[in-house]
């Protein structure tokens, strides 16, 4: 996993690219603040570098969604476990019933 903390304090977006020489581009931050000159073989690589703050923000957003989804799934799992326990059943009992039903369906639904 990428340690995104090491990027704290980077120049904020948006970054832009401008041709500097025949084989280099300048990357600038907001208000045209110069950040770097990059020699390139592919302009697209420089565009990728210029999008770094946006990509970092997207990584952080998606990590947040994953964490939230995991937390919600954990909560739902605990609720299901408590529900079945209150009915005198375990999740293993339910899993076995589902497995038996799947087998029944695979066999054409006939006994």
The predicted-structure confidence for 15-69, as pLDDT tens digits, reads as follows 999 999 999 999 999 989 999 999 999 999 999 999 999 999 999 999 999 999 9
Cis bond upstream, residue 50 (ω within 30): no
Query: With a threshold of 0.85, does the pTM exceed it?
Result: no
SS3 21: strand
Per-residue model confidence (pLDDT) at position 63: 95
Residue 25 class from Cβ within 10 Å (0-12 exposed, 13-18 middle, 19+ buried)? buried
Q: In which band, very low, low, confident or very high, does the pLDDT at 111 lie, cut at 50, 70 and 90?
A: low
Q: Quick one: average pLDDT of 11-17?
A: 95
25 and 38 Cβ atoms separated by less than 8 Å: yes
Residue 17 class from Cβ within 10 Å (0-12 exposed, 13-18 middle, 19+ buried)? middle
């Amino acid at each position: 996993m990428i340690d995104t903390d090491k990027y704290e304090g980077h120049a904020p977006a948006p970054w832009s690219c401008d041709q500097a020489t025949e084989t280099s581009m300048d990357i600038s931050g907001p208000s045209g603040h110069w950040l770097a000159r990059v020699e390139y073989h592919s302009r697209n690589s420089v565009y990728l570098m210029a999008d770094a703050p946006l990509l970092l923000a997207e990584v952080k957003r998606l990590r947040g969604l994953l964490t939230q989804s995991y937390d919600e799934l954990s909560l739902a799992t605990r609720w299901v476990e408590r529900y079945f326990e209150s009915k005198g059943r375990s999740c293993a009992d339910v899993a076995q019933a589902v497995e038996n039903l799947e087998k029944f369906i695979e066999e054409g639904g006939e006994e």
